[in-house]
Structure formats: structure tokens, C-alpha cells
Structure 1
């Protein structure tokens, strides 16, 4: 097999050879993904299942590759699953590359939950209630992401949060405070506690993000989705904190 030319057109090549691991103790998920993608693109797949470790090692030695699956089209090696995606022009995110997808998905789900809960409770939707529940649910979901690994979150949070830098325990308290405030706001109880909590952590967060991004011009990842987040610190993070602070202020005044 030879390396494929990136500009190579496979429009007329409707047969692909796929070599993938399918052993009793391990069924390679990327092999299944490669096969599904090829079929989706209209290819007849010659599915070569490597069912033993010896078969895998023999194939890798003969093909001069270190990993499987491997796809060949027209006698030319395309490569693994990510290479196959790139071959078909499907965007491939590089390791460590920033993305807004996780936070967009979280906010979309928070909005859906808020609307569904309102409809179930009142058989009607209200703009004010929608906004309140949306912010509250978002806070709960964001807190959950951080609570999965508080140690990792705190390390990333200390990169930019002004209060946490002065008082390190705040980085550990933050996820719990955010979660408690979100739950209380959602339930509509103990607002005297929930609203100030949201106002304080939202205001401190907004000031910290603004300073780090717009004054110090630092390029950081946001800890809002947890310590392994690939979401860039910037406008979305600032907006999130402003929404939290604004909702806290609005509920106090109400």
C-alpha cells in the first residue's frame, strides 16, 4: 500500500478495503466507524477482520503501519479513521484544539430542560420563567462538569480567577456554590442565599475573565466545563458569568 494523494478523487472508486481488529477480547470501535463511514459514502467494503493478535501483527508488518484500522481505496492507503474523515473532507479537530461545541451543547440542553419542565408544570411557557430556569439549569449542569474532577478544575481555575488566586480554597468551594445556587434558584427557595451566591461568583468570574482576556490578552482555556475543558476563555465565558450575576441581581430585586 502507498500513501494516498490528498487531492486524489475517489468518485469512481466504489470499492474500499478495510483492515480492522475484531478479536474475541477487543472489537475496535474505529474499525466499525470506518466501515460505517465508507458505506455511508457509497463504497462496497472488503471487510478484512483481523481476529487474532498474530494476524494484527502480521498485517502491520506487511503494510508497514503501526495501528489499525487501515483503509485502502484504489490500491492506495488512506490510513486510520481520522485520516479517512480527512480524505472525505470531514473536519478533524486536532488534539488540544479549542472548541465551543461542549458549552453550546450544554446550554442547548439547559434550555430544553427549562422549557420541558415549564410545560410539564404549567402547560405554558413564560419568558421570565424560561430565563430564570435556563440560568439555574445551566448552573447545575456546569457545576456537574466541575464536580467530576474538582482537583483538575481548581488547577485550571487558578490560571485566571482573581479571588481564587488570593484565596485558593475558593477554587474548591466554587463548584459546590454554583451547584447549590442553581438548585435553589430552580426550586425557588432560599432565594436570600441563592441570589447573593450567584451574584458574587458571577461578578467575580466576569471581572476575572475580562481582565485575563481583554486586558492581559492571555490565551487560556475556560474551566467552566471542568479541568479537561477545550473551551477557550473569552466572550462565551464572560457572557455566562454576566448571566449568572444578572440573574442573581434580578432575583434579589424581585
Structure 2
């Protein structure tokens, strides 16, 4: 144990619909804020858990990871149980475990995987509408698959980042000079029942990067953009070269590796 207490690793799932993203904000409900308040109610310590990444308003998580130091001695199973009793039903702690003192949810991460889900039938159930982008326009899946493959590897993703460089640098490179270079290990589209799912795994992601990739690939699928144009968009290094930002409700953080 460190002189300040134990270092905790918390794995969470949440429905992001009713929250203004991960990061705590004044007078707004956030995942980080709810978790911080729940910890305070349980152990009386005011901490700000650090997440593996800052999911935006409306974005969901199947396995977000957070870390924080707590001085109170509490068994992991007891902390998990108490947090789930204190948190709103839309946030669940899947696991609570003591981590090495040098572990940090964001800085220690080696890769993250996101999914973007598009509902492809005529009528989207109200029980699914919060968790998928309902889009029944004709799409060329083969062209979208070719486009997605072009972002695999190390690239400068300036064209797919939101126009807020300070946010991008703080999220993924807190101690370095501004860089928009990321490495993508997998980028693919698959049909699973009535859902078209984009899966992407990478070393890290810029603000809005996945949603901007999806919006651009949808332009390819509609025939508004050639699949080969992705290389030109990457080379342009300007947000205006890429497509629109896909809605937040279809995006899930599904896995973080360390």
C-alpha cells in the first residue's frame, strides 16, 4: 500500500444517454462526477477517478476503466457492491480491484476498442433507439470495408479530429508536444443481424475521431465519396476534408488493454 492508500482499478459499463460525457462539469450529470460522489458517500474521500478516455455526451461504455487512490481499507467485493448500490442504475461497476501503484487508467493503456452500431431495418425499436444510429439508406458495404482498411497503420489523423487541439493533446498525450499521430490495428465493418457494426482498435483516439471516421465511411457507402479518397483525406490534415460526425448514440467503448 502507498502512503496515500491503495490504487484502485474500476471497470464500468454505462448508458451514456442521460450524461454529459465522462468528464466532470459544473451543474451537469457526468459519469466521472457520479462515480466521485458515490465513492465519497461510501468512504468519505473526495477523489476524481481518472478514466481511460473521455467519452462524449451520449456515448456508451461496455468496459470503461477508471483508477483512483483510496486511503480507506475496504475489500474489493465490498467496494464494488457498495458502489453499485450508490450509483444510478445506468452506471454499473463490473469489477473493482487493487492495482499496482503505478497503474493509471489512461496513461497505462496500450490499446482501446470502440464499436459503432447502425440499425439497418425499417423500424427501430424504442428499446434500441438509444444505442444505435437508425439508418436505412442504401449503403455499399464493400466500398465501406475498403475505405475502413485504409486507416489501418500509423497515420496523422488531423482530418478526423474535432477542431479542439488542446483537448486532443490532453486526452492522449498529456506530457508531450501536440501530435495527431495514432496507430490503428483493426478497422472493419460487419453485419450482425439488423446491425451494421464498425469495429476499430488503436493505440489511442482523438476527440470525435471514431465518429468522424464513421461519418466519412458512410459518405463512401452512399456513393458520395470514393473509397480511395480516404488516403487523400488523411494527407490533407484538415477537418474540413473529411465527412460529418456520426451521432453519439451509436458509439460504445468496448475494451481497454494494458
**What TM-score, normalized by structure 2, do the two folds share?**
0.27
Larger Rg: 1
**Of Structure 1 and Structure 2, which has the larger fraction of its residues in helix?**
1
Q: Which has the higher contact order (CA 8 A, sep 6+)?
A: 2
